[in-house]
Amino acid sequence: MTPEHFDVLIVGAGLSGVGGACHLAIHCPGKTYAVLEAREAMGGTWDLFRYPGVRSDSDMFTLGYAFRPWTESKAIADGPAILKYVNDTAREYGVDPHIRYRHRVVRASWSSASAKWTVEAEKGPQKGRVRFTCSFLYVCAGYYDYDEAYAPAFPGSWRFDGRIVHPQAWTDDVDYAGKRVVVIGSGATAVTLVPALTDKAAHVTMLQRSPTYIVTLPSQDLLANLARRLLPAKLAYAVARWRNVLRAMFFYWIARRFPNAFKALVRMGVKAEMGKDYDVAPHFTPSYQPWDQRLCLVPDADLFKVLREGRASIVTDRIETFTEKGIKLKSGAELEADLVVTATGLNLLLLGGAQLIVDGKTVDPPKTLSYRGMMVSDVPNMAFAVGYTNASWTLKCDLVAEYLCRLINHMDRHGYRQCTPRRTDPSVTEEPIIDFSSGYVQRSIHLFPKAGSKVPWKLHQNYARDLLNLRFGRLDDGVMEFAPRN
């Protein structure tokens, strides 16, 4: 059968994929598109994660789409509220009928002769192969492996009489009511889970190998809520969005330029919640510099509240072995537990695991450079969505989708059928595309494309700068090579 053809194929129906489809509907209304989603529902991360308390660590004025205001009172929203926002957006912009569920993309092959991608997907539980063709491929699969989380092999775990579960695999039958729970981890998932589990658990212990920088913000943004009462919805949303963008940029600049001052601010925040005599050093003083890893946000100081009240505790130590009753630590102490939650991180997966082939040659991603953080050197008519590490995911994904629409319209106006970023400057040196010391990054970053030392290969993690470059910068910049139609 002749493969079904679309102008644009989007891979992934999560936050970025739905956003990309909406941008096409807004800026390229004449283009045909489909969204191929591996799972049975839209929402990506926000449909996958079902553990108690799941929420964003970014405010919804920046995690929300630029074109559709967030109107709920809570700025730090929980997972179900975010999922509803994604679903409502898809329905409002007519994206729903374009989504093909249970279509896992496994291979995409580009032909310069036809200027088309042939995309192969496994359909349904039988994994039958189906093919589509498209003129432009937009991969919005994020960079996490949705099928397999990171679960290190803990010594003696087979001896433990209780249950061990990873948050990514959380199901409704995980019973923690009246039980002693140990959460292994110190990142965003752990600091979310600990206060959420205390509503039913007998006690919750957060066991961390090393501390993380933890800051607190109110879950409701009073100024944003006031602006919404006084101003039209879109204007109020824009005001709140830009206020939060600029605030985040300022504190990031402080953290990187004056790390000791930033550390002092974080310590003051912890002491304000835990008491002036509380010793911050053991549990809240990381060994790395601020923003070498992502900061953890706790809304309404919920983590500190349950620690103060004694419903939860925090232990900084290393695991020697699991025992029948719990976990024995290097210090010799033993944590008794009925349930252990391994919030040990995620695995990274590039392009949803799909293989890329260009004119018969398999693309080796680590040997490529990332153009503007959204395209790959020597790979035509393909973009991918990856958000910021120091700010909201959607801020960057919105800009990438908007740029992609500009690019498609530019090609139509000038009669181009192919655009390809070319690495022609020999003085450009390679840099990591994600410059984080976090374990989940270090385990897999060698499999990803590199960034470069010069624009447009360099990543700045700066929304204001990217907005100017991606919204108003030249498309024909001497690096992007355009090929006319025959």
- For the stretch 297-320, pLDDT in tens is 999 999 999 999 999 999 999 999
Confidence of residue 203 (pLDDT cuts 50, 70, 90): very high
The yes-or-no answer to whether 4-147+347-484 and 157-342 have a common fold is: yes
Is the preceding omega at residue 3 within 30 degrees of 0, hence cis? no
Q: What is the CA radius of gyration of the chain?
A: 23
Give the Cα separation of 84 and 23 in Å (integer). 19
Domain ranges, ordered by start, for the chain = 4-147+347-484, 157-342
pLDDT for 323 equals 96
pLDDT for 240 equals 94
Predicted TM-score of the model (pTM): 0.94
Answer whether 378's CB lies under 8 Å from 368's CB: yes
Answer whether 362's CB lies under 8 Å from 355's CB: yes
Q: Calculate the average pLDDT of the chain.
A: 93
Element (H, E) at 154: none
Give the Cα separation of 245 and 130 in Å (integer). 42
pLDDT for 387 equals 85
pLDDT > 80? residue 194: yes
Give the Cα separation of 432 and 96 in Å (integer). 36
Give the Cα separation of 322 and 336 in Å (integer). 10
pLDDT for 442 equals 78
Alpha helix segments (H runs only) across 152-221: 188-197
Query: What's the topology of domain 4-147+347-484?
Result: FAD/NAD(P)-binding domain (3.50.50)
Measure the N-to-C terminal CA separation of the chain; round to a whole number of Å.
26
- Cα-flanking dihedrals φ and ψ of residue 229, to 5°? -75, -25
- Say what percent of the chain tops pLDDT 70: 99
pLDDT for 411 equals 97
How many residues make up the chain in this entry?
Answer: 486
Q: Look at residues 408, 220, 195, 428 and name the one whose alpha carbon lies nearest to residue 314.
A: 195
Give the Cα separation of 152 and 88 in Å (integer). 38
pLDDT > 90? residue 123: yes
Confidence of residue 444 (pLDDT cuts 50, 70, 90): confident
Higher pLDDT, 147 or 358: 358
Range 89-101 average pLDDT: 97
Reading the block at residue 450, the tokens are 């590199």
pLDDT for 148 equals 85
Give the Cα separation of 479 and 421 in Å (integer). 6
Residue 296 bridge partners (DSSP): 214
pLDDT for 146 equals 85
Answer whether 334's CB lies under 8 Å from 317's CB: no
pLDDT for 37 equals 97
- For the stretch 387-408, pLDDT in tens is 888 888 899 999 999 999 999 9
Q: Which residues contact 307 (CB under 8 A, 6 or more apart)?
A: 274, 313, 314
> Does the 157-342 domain belong in CATH 3.30.70.360?
no
Question: Quick check: helix, strand or coil at residue 428?
Answer: coil
Give the Cα separation of 406 and 198 in Å (integer). 49
Range 97-101 average pLDDT: 97
Range 404-417 average pLDDT: 97
pLDDT > 90? residue 461: no
- For the stretch 334-388, pLDDT in tens is 999 999 999 998 888 888 999 999 999 999 999 999 999 999 999 999 999 988 8
- The region, left, alpha or beta by phi > 0 then psi within -120 to 50, assigned to residue 63 is alpha
Residue with tokens 């209780």: 162
